[in-house]
Chains A and B, each alone.
Chain A
Amino acid sequence: MNQFQYARPAETAAAIKSLTKEPNGYFLAGGTNLVDMMKMGLVVPDKLVDINRLPLKKIEKTATGVHVGALATNSEVAEHAYIKAQYPLLSLAINAGASPQLRNMATVGGNLMQRTRCPYFFDTAMPCNKRTPGSGCGALEGINRMHALFGASDKCIAVNPSDMNVALAALDATIHVIGAKGPRTIKIGDFHRLPGDHPELDNALQKGE
């Protein structure tokens, strides 16, 4: 794994500031996806901002539903008494994915941010418009029976790997985003982008969010 700089701020504002000056920087939460991709050389960051100390871990009942912090782990959500009682779909969907150890590490924010991808994205010997824009798509004429039936383009036919995201879409969740320009909300249906001509863009987040 290549060298990178590492910062561990204690406040959300400091974390956002820490990355706005760094074009090739990433937030690190559970690390199950990011560290994996760094080991494979698919992501080579200059800087990681470890956000695990930020106060974003709470799961709270609200007037209209439940608020889940971005740093709540997948296990904490799946095992939460209120979520099991009121949103069993979310609990079951999370427990259908990964392994207990990974669910103990992976966060809800990181799960949402998982890149839409397929095995050809991980295979650096094959072209992939998502990994290297303009290089082509190995899956179009390759082994693709688990790929997208709807919403695909001639640039990319990958599907989002997250079970949790499917449940959140069914439950009509709203995502609360914090960025350099302040907070905003995005409906789950508007968060993940269809590939179109730019499969390298996975979601609706702007720079600095």
Chain B
Amino acid sequence: MSTTKPCTLTDGEDISNGTRRDFLKQTSLLTAIALTPGTVVKAAEDKWDEKFAGVFEKQTLHLEVNGVKHELAVEPRVTLLEVLREHLDLTGTKKGCDRGQCGACTVHVNGIRINSCLSLALTNDGKKITTIEGLAKGEELHPMQEAFINHDGFQCGYCTSGQIMSAVALLKEGHVGSETEIREFMSGNICRCGAYPNIVKAIQEVKGGIV
């Protein structure tokens, strides 16, 4: 699925070409194999995993993410956030609290903003998802992305994709009459660095541009 070049543990040059994420995935996997107790290996040989899968079967999931259609097989307990990050490698959507409180995982489902960490993936079967990766048109950033850069609407950047997804939806919802209203309807997105004043300015700029 991933188009990034795979890296190896022995070749330093390849590691620098791969992503940090690929590196972590591969080293974790090797460690896991080295630490796996014999009983687990035995269970795997006896195909226990397939027997369990018969009861808790993976189900087919159709999603259109940023205009691209996907057909996946996922367990019922997998959330939309996990599908985006782990199955589709769209890691722009962040896992923050994983409890629906911080808003870092905000995406649009059929144009409506939700917390993808509290939405089971299968519930979204057949729906259209937009993530932060889907906002720009090629090299041209979405006006809200431009405004966040212009107004320095972030510091560490971890909450930023969620803030921008929320802000784009907010403009459509129309709750941008005053600074108080913007702050109230952006309250589902927490910024621990405290970039709120600049986030509000960015939203006001885009709102002004639209009017």
A residues near B (Cβ < 8 Å) are 1-6, 8, 28, 31-32, 35-36, 38-39, 48, 50, 52, 75, 79, 98-102, 104-105
Contact = CB atoms under 8 A, between A and B. Distances in A.
A75 B112 CA distance: 10
Contact of B120 (A3, A31, A79): A31
B91 interface: no
B103 interface: yes
A64 B35 CA distance: 67
A35 B114 CA distance: 14
Interface string B83-118: 000000000000000111101001000001111001
Contacts of A5: 55-56, 76
25 contacts: A1-B77, A3-B55, A3-B56, A4-B76, A5-B76, A8-B122, A8-B125, A28-B123, A32-B115, A36-B118, A48-B120, A50-B122, A52-B123, A99-B100, A99-B101, A99-B103, A99-B189, A100-B169, A100-B170, A100-B175, A101-B115, A102-B188, A104-B113, A105-B118, A105-B119
A99 B122 contact: no
A121 to B, nearest CB: 15
B59 interface: yes
Interface in B109-162: 112-115, 118-120, 122-123, 125
A4 B122 CA distance: 13
A122 to B, nearest CB: 10
Interface of B: 52, 55-56, 59, 75-77, 79, 98-101, 103, 106, 112-115, 118-120, 122-123, 125, 166, 169-170, 173, 175, 185-189
Nearest to A73: B112
B110 to A, nearest CB: 10
B115 A100 contact: no
Contact of B187 (A79, A100, A105): A100
A6 B114 contact: no
6 nearest A-B residue pairs (beta carbon):
A99-B188, A6-B76, A3-B56, A101-B188, A1-B77, A101-B115
Contacts of B125: 8
A92 to B, nearest CB: 12
Contacts of A79: 173
Contact of B118 (A8, A35, A48, A75): A35
A50 B188 contact: no
Nearest to B107: A101
B73 to A, nearest CB: 13
A50 B59 CA distance: 13
Contact of A101 (B56, B75, B77, B106): B106
Given A28-B123, A99-B100, 8 more contacts: A31-B118, A32-B118, A35-B118, A99-B103, A100-B186, A101-B114, A102-B188, A105-B114
Contacts of A100: 113, 166, 169-170, 173, 175, 185-188
Contacts of B189: 99
Given A4-B76, A5-B56, A48-B76, A102 B123 contact: no
Which of A35, A98, A100 has the most chain B CB atoms closer than 10 A to its own CB?
A100
B118 to A, nearest CB: 5
Given A3-B75, A36-B99, A36-B100, A31 B59 contact: no
